Structure 1
Amino acid sequence: MRNISDFIEQYLKSTLLKNGNELLEIKRSELAKRFECVPSQINYVISTRFTLEKGYIVESKRGGGGYIRIIKVEAHEKSDLYNHLLQLVGPVIDQQTAENIVMRLYEEKAVTKREANLMVSVLDRSVLKVELPYRDQIRSNVLKAMINTLKYK
């Protein structure tokens, strides 16, 4: 069963698509009225589902004339995508962020659904059975190795 966050995300993505995937500018309060929710629900959706690793840049201005601007970032070449994602990984990475990066690879058609599922399974905490912060360091190294392998097929 879908929740309000799913509906808000879907609405924003479809509106962005109608705008040619270029830019979407909305008012937080108007969106909250549309979905009959509190503005903090809008903030939650934006901050968790429109992140840089998922391919979005979000700009926000609070106040009476405030807005939220969502920009879809698309790489011109696969190598640009790989380089960008490698920069996002860093020396440590948590499981959710790693999964977001893999889903971005899938959405950009850099990997198949099966390959994405394999990547996610290898990065899972149930497989990397070591204590933090070592687990996040190993996950980072493994993810970087996979992206570099894709980059230089």
Structure 2
Amino acid sequence: MARSKPLKVLIVEDEALLAMDVESMVEDSGHVVVAEATSLYEVESLDAAIDPDLAFVDMHLARGTNGLDVCALIRKRWSDAIIIFVTANPAKVPPDFAGGHGVIAKPFSRNAFMAAIHYLGEGLTSPPPSIPKPGDLVAAHSLIASWST
């Protein structure tokens, strides 16, 4: 059944300008940023009630923390959230995505990121998405399979 509300999005990124760009693209896509964080510690301090549908997570974060640890925490606190790593070094994401659901490599264009948001939004609201998967999004097989069942 289609969801009538916008997606709730968590952004975990320690580069302020990039976080603002991602926030702008999420909002321009009709969704809502429920929280932003720059490190694992900030994600730990977030209210569990934010309950994100989608999280964009950088791999190298502030205060010596990393996206893999953030992914594990998100899986524990908000188990239904779709987690997309956003990183300049996609080779650092394990082949099994470490519990995440995909990767978008930096740098990316606004159009490419917006296409990924649109694709993920369709997949979350009325799976499977009616549009093709954008080339800049490497999606985990488990994500694609969950939308076709």
Q: TM-score range by the shorter chain?
A: under 0.3
More strand by share: 2
Q: Which has the larger radius of gyration?
A: 1
Q: Which has the higher helix share?
A: 1
Q: Give TM-score, length-normalised by structure 2.
A: 0.24
